[in-house]
Homo-oligomer: A and B are copies of this chain.
Amino acid sequence: MGIINYPNKKTVFKSVTSYKNRGMVLEDDLNVTNEYYRVYDIAVIYKKPIPIQVVDVYYPARNKAVIKEAYYKTPSTTDYNGIFQGRYLDFEAKETSSMTSFPLKNINHHQIEHLNAIEKHGGIAFMIIAFQKLGEAYLVSMTLLNKYYQNQNERKSIPYKIIKENSKLIVSGYKPRLDYLKAVKELFFD
């Protein structure tokens, strides 16, 4: 069982027009974006709960369970999935503090395999990669990901320049905060 550290952050931003001058908090941005998509009936996409292995549960009262010992598990799939315009959609979202490349060690093997399986079964699969310090997020295709993932003996990261030139920049704004479905539409529907 892989054990991972997850910060338990609860950051809320009120109004955001640019990623500049703040740390990108990709997960929060995707959560509010997905909520926007649901409220406006554009898509039904959720972040999956973090898988946790429960070891010890205590019952101080009837119908009340307190987990006293548990561990984070390595996810076997991606973080996000749902439906958009009748299509199954599945993606993983990662951010890096590097300004020059995205380190492939940030992705686990199960996730790449899962995304490839989704694409094979007719779903829309991709990755969102955010460069915190540059304030940019990209929708990266499986073609690009697989190309670099399979060649890790050559290099263990995807250069920023390659991502920039071969991926859709995701427009960040006020509502929705990170309109990745615009990029999905351009890439998979038009």
Question: Given the complex, which residues of B lie within 8 Å of A64, measured CB to CB?
Answer: 3
Task: Report the bound CA distance from A5 to B57 in whole Å.
Answer: 9
| A118 / chain B contacts, CB cutoff of 8 Å | 44, 83
Cβ < 8 Å to B, chain A residues 73-90: 75-77, 81-90
Complex interface bits, A114-157 against B, C-beta within 8 A gives 1, otherwise 0:
10011011110000000000000000000000000000000000
Q: For A57, what are the chain B residues with a Cβ–Cβ distance below 8 Å?
A: 8
How far is the CB of A131 from the nearest CB of chain B, in Å? 24
A43 within 8 A of B: yes
CB atoms of B65 and A67 under 8 A apart: no
B123 and A86 within 8 A (CB): yes
Q: Is A19 positioned at the interface, with any CB of B under 8 Å from its CB? A: no
Q: How far is the CA of A8 from the CA of B58 in the complex (A)?
A: 12
Q: What residues make up the interface of A, taking CB atoms closer than 8 Å to B?
A: 3-6, 8, 38, 41, 43-44, 46, 48-52, 54, 57, 59, 63-72, 75-77, 81-90, 114, 117-118, 120-123
Give the 5 A-B residue pairs with the shortest CB-CB distance, closest first: A86-B122, A49-B51, A88-B88, A67-B70, A83-B88
Please list 7 pairs of residues, one from A and one from B, whose beta carbons are closer than 8 Å in the complex, sorted by A's number: A6-B65, A8-B57, A38-B117, A41-B120, A81-B82, A83-B121, A85-B121
